[in-house]
Amino acid sequence: MSSYDYDLFTIGAGSGGVRASRMAAGMGARVAVAEERYLGGTCVNVGCIPKKLFAYAGHYAEDFEDAAGFGWRAQPPSFDWPTLVANKDKEITRLNGVYERLLTGAGVKIFSTRARVVDAHSVEVDGKRVTAAHILVATGGWPVVPDVPGKELAITSNEAFHLPRLPASVVVVGGGYIAVEFASIFHGLGVATTLSYRGANLLREFDADLGSFLGEQMAKKGVRVLLHSQVRSIERRGSGLICAMADGSAIETEAVMYATGRLPNTLGLGLEQAGVKLAANGAVVVDENFQSSVASIHAIGDVIHRFQLTPVALAEGMVIVDRLFGGSERKMSYSNIATAIFSNPNVGTVGLSEAQARRDYGDVAIFRTSFTALKHRLSGRPESTLMKLVVDKASDRVLGVHMVGPDAGEIVQGFAVALVCGATKRQFDQTIGIHPTAAEEFVTMREPVA
């Protein structure tokens, strides 16, 4: 029996921390987890789950409009923001309970308070010191607002889920996935929405065609998309806000939301004092085994600032638990990680962008198509779908699958399996499509673009 109080002490009960803790307990380890806010972390409480629920809500306005082209007649619908917020909160409370039962059912001790690392094997929690053979930091990330005058008047995604009332207008600042998702949500709920981004193209971390095509579609729907645009200051004017822009213009709005990035949540955890090396942005620096500069202290998930995705944190959690308590030497693979952006329209992507493929493989073939989905032939909505394949000419292997359009995440998930299996373009061509669907376009594109 170890002389420590626990074999594993996890700080942070988000997706990665909960998975690692309960699976370690299932392997016979004595485990405790400390969480000062809410079980489930960002994803369950102020991330994936409530965001997807809000995204569903934002799509209904178009669904009601589209139904008219198919013969449906109804009274103009109305939307009630408090109902959406209350029902969202009810679902999150249910999920908080699920996470608690997963942990307690596995025999994990839960400390509902803040924890601070004291040294290589000690954690301070509930005013006392407990010891552990291994400490796992899984505290996630936190949204940040740039240091502009009036920043205290802005909100982030955290507050957007709990607004007491829906604003009549909003300026969303940013060009990443959180920015385009919330711009789509607000617009879908009837808010006059401006998306302001300082760059030349939305979604700069993704294939370039995705950001440019998405921006066009969002603009068609009525979102005011401003590129090369930067907010210089925010000030209160009457009951509203004024955004002073870098080009000298001003935007009057009821709310300003910043979605310009998240930083690792390591402030005040005692890591540096314990000898743990942190990156300039506060991320815990770890090796391929998720081990920090202190051998007994490990970190996974958003706090290491690699891929800020819930399934990645879950996978990292399993890799470290298998190594610490299962004798495994397997490593985490970050290739072909599929992801979806729940903007309107959706974005789905897996594998390499065109630019990455040209850099790594040189001679590549690009297959791309855009079209109006069958549904919109009757709805009359001016929305198009984009699909794109990136193929290595030498091996014929498909390196990237990218889509902008309805249910893009659902469609690309299946193609992610094909990429992990090393599928070739010839195998895509030999696959018989399901007709009529949008997804069949991925297996019927025959001619590469110039």
Joined together, the tokens standing for residue 135 give: 């400490």
* 3-class DSSP state of 174: coil
Whether the CB-CB separation of 137 and 299 falls below 8 Å is answered with yes
- Pairwise CA distance, residues 198 & 221, whole Å: 21
- Residue 349's DSSP bridge partners are 339, 402
Residue type for position 261? G
- Pairwise CA distance, residues 133 & 293, whole Å: 15
Phi and psi (nearest 5°) for 307? -120, 115
What strands, in cross-sheet order, belong to the sheet with 240-245? 231-237, 240-245, 250-253
> What is the DSSP code (8-state) at residue 261?
-
Whether the CB-CB separation of 181 and 54 falls below 8 Å is answered with no
Beta strand 31-34 with 109-111 is: parallel
Residue type for position 198? R
- Pairwise CA distance, residues 270 & 276, whole Å: 9
List, as one string, the DSSP characters of 361-374.
Answer: HSSEEEEEEEE--T
b/e for 31-43, b at 16 or more Cβ within 10 A? bbbbbebbbbbbb
Whether the CB-CB separation of 34 and 160 falls below 8 Å is answered with no
Joined together, the tokens standing for residue 159 give: 């507050």
- Pairwise CA distance, residues 399 & 344, whole Å: 25
Q: For residue 53, what are the contacts with CB-CB under 8 A and spacing of at least 6?
A: 84, 87, 88, 91
- Pairwise CA distance, residues 116 & 371, whole Å: 54
Joined together, the tokens standing for residue 238 give: 């009457």
Residues noted as catalytic: 435
Whether the CB-CB separation of 6 and 133 falls below 8 Å is answered with yes
Whether the CB-CB separation of 338 and 39 falls below 8 Å is answered with no
- Pairwise CA distance, residues 52 & 184, whole Å: 12
- Pairwise CA distance, residues 13 & 131, whole Å: 18
* Integer CA distances (angstroms), 234 to 244, 245, 258, in order: 6, 9, 12
